[in-house]
Amino acid sequence: MYVKICGLSTPGTIEAGLQAGANWIGFVFFPKSPRHVGYGKAKELVGPVRGKASIVALTVNASDDELEAIDRSINPDIWQLHGSESPERVREIKQRYGRPVMKALTIRDREDLAAISRYEEACDIFLFDAKPPTDSKTDLPGGNGIAFDWRLIENLKLKKPFVLAGGLDPDNVSEAIRLTRPQGVDVSSGIESAPGIKDRQKIVDFVQRAKQAAQDF
């Protein structure tokens, strides 16, 4: 079970994630997000992560120049594409940098699963997140603290591994893992005391409960 802690922006919360045993540490490069970090700050934060967990760069429809700036600042191990990037764009980024690409797909109903077949040959990992509510004014593609109906992906047969995201927290991650049997889980808002402010104890609780749930398969 791979556990990803996303949207970290302080040395203390990064330390908490690493000590708890998180496999992936995610940095958000999207100015509209309360979890956004600039290139300079990310470069300062990333040092303790390297060699202890995989470094994930979350981007949303990033331009080539933006990708280059991110690459120079943190040299990520994995690219997480959380926008409307086409399969062709996914392949292009994977080929250019020679690193795994995690493609996020947002889900509300069964029709949204149709996009999986378009990306299955292009990406290395899927991340399934919840779509914002139809009446929501947010334009954030993720980190909204809501879950989709996990039964939609129960017993889903895929060629690639998938990570479950969207509304996960220490209290529900065990049930989410039991129901969907993902290869990984991703949390951001579910371990916060306020938007963009991570809670160290919640980080520890989430990682521990996710790892325990995986052992109980």
> H helices within 79-143, ranges in order?
87-97, 116-119
Answer yes or no: 6 catalytic.
Answer: yes
What is the 8-class DSSP label of residue 64? H
Catalytic residue among 64, 71, 135, 205: 135
Answer yes or no: 123 catalytic.
Answer: no
Contacts of residue 184, defined as CB under 8 A and 6 or more positions apart, other chains included, come to 1, 2, 3, 4, 23, 24, 125, 161, 162, 163, 164
> H helices within 111-199, ranges in order?
116-119, 173-180
Handedness of CA 108, 194, 187, 31 (dihedral sign): positive
Question: 10 Å Cβ neighbour count for 136?
Answer: 11
Picking from 114, 120, 43, the residue whose alpha carbon sits closest to that of residue 87 is: 120
The set of catalytic residues is: 6, 135
